[in-house]
Every structure is written in C-alpha cells, then in structure tokens.
Amino acid sequence: MIFSAALDQRPVIDRTAPVTLAPLDTAPRTARASVTAQLSAWGRGDLADDAGLIVSELMTNAVVASEAGETPVAVRLLLTPASVVVEVYDRAPGFPLLAAAGAEAEAGRGLQIVASVATRWGWTPTTTGKCT
C-alpha cells in the first residue's frame, strides 16, 4: 500500500474531480467523508482509514493557512495500480514545513503524521497556490 501526497510517475487508473470547499472547520471532516466514499466506490475501502487520516491532516493545514471564507481549499484522489494519491490544494501563501512540535504543543504534528502514514509526501507550487 502506497500513499503519496504528490503525484508519482505511475499510470493513473482513475481520478476524482477536485472537491472544493470553503476553508471552514468542517472542511476536513467533509473531505474525509468524500475520500472514504470514493475509495469504497473504487473497491479500495481497505485504504480508507489511512487515506482519511492523511486528508484530514492536510486539509486542516490548508484551512488554517487560508483566510477564512476567502480562498477555497480542495481535495482530489488519483488511483494508480499500486497507490492512492491524495492531493490537497490551497491558495494560501507559504509552503508546508515538517517541524518538530514540543511535547506540550497542542498543534504542529500534522505533517509528522502524514509522513509516518504515507510512503512519501511532498508539495508542489501551482499557479494559484500549492498542492500538498
């Protein structure tokens, strides 16, 4: 099982249209439900827990980085023969940074979680923001 947050070079079997959401607190939950439903439709429900965790963390970061109600966030899935690629888009300035959170910190572990669950992850600039 391979998860990737940046498109690899494997042929794509299927892809979803981006699910675009307002950058609200409900976006991660909505994105996770969308990912779970799509994986089930593809017959890959076995990947739903890990993919859902990844999309929740990446979408939370996108929402936090975005201006509330101003710039949309989106999630898209790609199915390859050996992986599911999770793409989360936002228009916020800056880039994702894998940082160490202190023992008492209440935030800052999202990308560490993604890195531990995904086979690989990364980010790519887009014409309007970035894809993680």
Residue 52's CATH number: 3.30.565.10
Residue 72 has pLDDT above 50, yes or no: yes
Residue 110 confidence (pLDDT) above 80: no
End-to-end CA distance of the chain: 19
Q: What is the mean pLDDT of residues 61-75?
A: 84
Give the global pTM. 0.83
* Side-chain half-sphere exposure of 10, counting CA atoms within 13 A: 18
Average model confidence (pLDDT) across the chain:
83
pLDDT of residue 73 exceeding 70, the answer is yes
The structural domain count of the chain equals: 1
Share of the chain above pLDDT 70, in %: 83
Q: Which domain holds residue 54?
A: 2-97+106-131
CA angle 51, 57, 62 (to 5 degrees): 120
CB atoms within 10 A of CB 32: 20
What are the helix (H) ranges across the chain? 27-41, 48-65, 110-117
